[in-house]
A and B are shown apart, each in its own frame.
Chain A
């Protein structure tokens, strides 16, 4: 009796081990380890829970004066024509302009003062002569209305930045440099033609240079035009070790002297009216509050600023994403384990025997861990931001409005940042082949520079260098508010302002990941396993 023996044949079709198969194998390895799936879910939850905690732990309230009850909320923040938060507080001497027109004036002096609160905190305070603030400004302005946040264009002389053409809060064009004094006065001219405004500057009133020309789309025919003066608060920043920074300083004042004021075009007849834009109520300006007219000469005193507002009034949206560090830690551990786990169990021998093209294995691993982390990060950030913003608003906080594009960049950028960090972890894990050392290396490379730079351990300049060179530069992609040069603010890392542009910072992180991946690929090919 003979039995027919049929040898076993696998039902799996034979095929080339293309990159698709390697990718599928690596995805199966990731998908079928229950602990890693749980860890990925934990990574998502960590960001959401910490975002919730950020919202729940931040309350804002204010009162309208001493002795009045606190109200949950924040003082009014004007919104500019571009949708951004702005500061719009200045002394304005104006007349109604209907249609086209032109203003010319000579600025003869700029005098600064610092305001110290008097014994009565609600009183006007004592002022003391002080140097003119670099961004204190006075000049000619054409503004849609005296409402805060309305469109405008202005030609100004500043305390330390020469002549500027500024418009709609974010726009700033540089003109001739130099300061203003009695011996070196400065002529300014602002003309309106339709919705185009052009600013000119001159040293003698005869030879004019064009500083800039801007189109303010939708500017109504009837506008307010005239002289203005503003002086931003003085800001001194003290870095506190281990506790961020402290801002001291106080309001300042600028008194500008004008003469040779001349207008032409559709100006309504009548006197010049003084308005403290952004002041309490509709306070007019008079001699007591800093608007004096004697003959041809005008003296105007102002405090405040016409500029974008990026610090001090509320929270930036990326503050809701502090949990990214928790997510990062978990995903770095996963990225490292994804390869060191193979070394520990000897699985790497099977993997490399099955796919002798070692670069392909590493690439497939990078794609899998990068994609998983990106998706997890995207889900986490997309849930966290609206949730935490909602809680922050409920608690009375102001959140700086940012464009939809910037919002998308912060959310997608956070996911991309996590994905690249996970790939970096994978590469370092391949290089070191040891879990603990690799995890510590990657976390120290990314998180420690961030803490050193932002927690006030280091002074601003070394902090900036850390955020240019280390992988922590990647967090720049989360910065939603630009550091406007026309603000004399402390744009230091401690206040969330990075030295590199968002995508440039992200590129630095990608560079680190790319280098590590190249080194890992080289070592993987050179070593036995």
Chain B
């Protein structure tokens, strides 16, 4: 397993793509968060109750997740598109180990990049929001990781990104085609929030929010009105973990059953 890990690490390390994608993920995440924070002002007295500054500062994850998905899809899809997968599977006939090594490498990388990105987001929120009137006076103390819910939201966002990576990697293993895999993953991530917008039954909305990988998973970012959420923060992340685990299992099974 150690050699498998080493091999996968070498593959990712020695091409410029993953490095560029990871720094792109960090940059885009922080940039979108900073933009959203800069666009949010406390102009009306009503904002004193409704704003979730933590979630708002972490909204860059919505963009970062797409870059993470591309990275994870390419880690597998790239092997299929170049035919490298035949070499890989010949060198390491234990296919489950190959997938596990890939998953571990990608997850590790995403965890590192995700931590950097989320710290950047929190910092951006801490620096920008007070300038827009969201100060301690109307009930918005500066963001701090010492605060329990904030720490949960920030740490959870890192885990969320890692799970998205895992899900994308598994989907790519299932469909073996980068373009189709990235289409499927982005469809899964972005289609549910749009559907939520047009379905009007509260019951249906609740159910959709409970099963959608992105809506449920991002419940981890909520710090205001947590009890009114359709799904709790950790339960929501659990739903996403379920999606990722199911896809990983299906991918492992197919990798075993198919020729390559």
Name A residues whose Cβ lies closer than 8 Å to a Cβ of B.
Answer: 39, 50, 53-54, 57-60, 236, 238, 240-244, 315, 319-320, 322, 325-326, 329-330, 332-333, 336-337, 340, 344, 397, 434-440, 443-444, 447-448, 450-452, 454-455, 457-459, 461-462
Contacts and interface: CB of A to CB of B under 8 A. Distances in A.
A19 to B, nearest CB: 27
A240 B208 CA distance: 18
A50 B199 CA distance: 10
A437 B183 CA distance: 11
B198 A54 contact: yes
Contacts of B115: none
Contacts of A242: 55, 193, 218
Interface in B50-95: 50-52, 55-56, 59, 62-63, 66-67, 69-70, 73-74, 77, 81
Contacts of A451: 62, 190, 193-194
A440 B66 contact: yes
A516 B77 CA distance: 25
A436 B40 contact: no
Contact of B74 (A322, A436, A450): A436
Interface of B: 35-36, 39-41, 46-47, 50-52, 55-56, 59, 62-63, 66-67, 69-70, 73-74, 77, 81, 177-183, 186-187, 190-191, 193-201, 204-205, 208, 218
Contacts of A459: 39-41
Contact of B191 (A329, A397, A439, A462): A329
A333 B180 contact: yes
Given A58-B200, A340-B179, A440-B67, 12 more contacts: A54-B199, A57-B204, A236-B46, A241-B59, A325-B187, A333-B180, A344-B81, A439-B179, A443-B186, A443-B190, A455-B193, A461-B39
A439 B50 contact: no
A448 B190 contact: yes
B198 A330 contact: no
22 contacts: A50-B195, A54-B195, A54-B198, A57-B199, A57-B200, A57-B205, A58-B201, A59-B200, A60-B200, A238-B46, A241-B52, A325-B187, A326-B187, A333-B182, A344-B81, A435-B182, A440-B186, A443-B190, A451-B62, A457-B59, A458-B36, A458-B39
Nearest to B70: A440
Contacts of A448: 62-63, 66, 190
A333 B179 contact: yes
Give the 8 A-B residue pairs with the shortest CB-CB distance, closest first: A435-B179, A57-B204, A57-B199, A333-B183, A436-B178, A58-B200, A462-B39, A322-B198
> Which of A236, A439, A459: most chain B CB closer than 10 A?
A439
Nearest to A456: B197
A519 B194 CA distance: 31
B56 A241 contact: yes
Contact of A332 (B40, B46, B77, B183): B183
B187 A436 contact: no
A440 B69 contact: yes
B105 to A, nearest CB: 18
A15 B224 CA distance: 71
Contact of B199 (A53, A436, A462): A53
Contacts of B196: 243
A80 B182 CA distance: 48
A325 B70 contact: no
Contacts of B36: 457-458
B132 to A, nearest CB: 11
Contact of A244 (B77, B183, B191, B197): B197
A240 B47 CA distance: 10
B41 A439 contact: no
A39 B184 CA distance: 12
Nearest to B74: A436
B124 to A, nearest CB: 15
Contacts of A455: 193-194, 197
Given A242-B218, A344-B81, A448-B62, A319 B186 contact: no
A325 to B, nearest CB: 5
Nearest to B168: A436
A279 B194 CA distance: 37
A234 to B, nearest CB: 13
Contacts of B63: 444, 448
A53 B179 contact: no
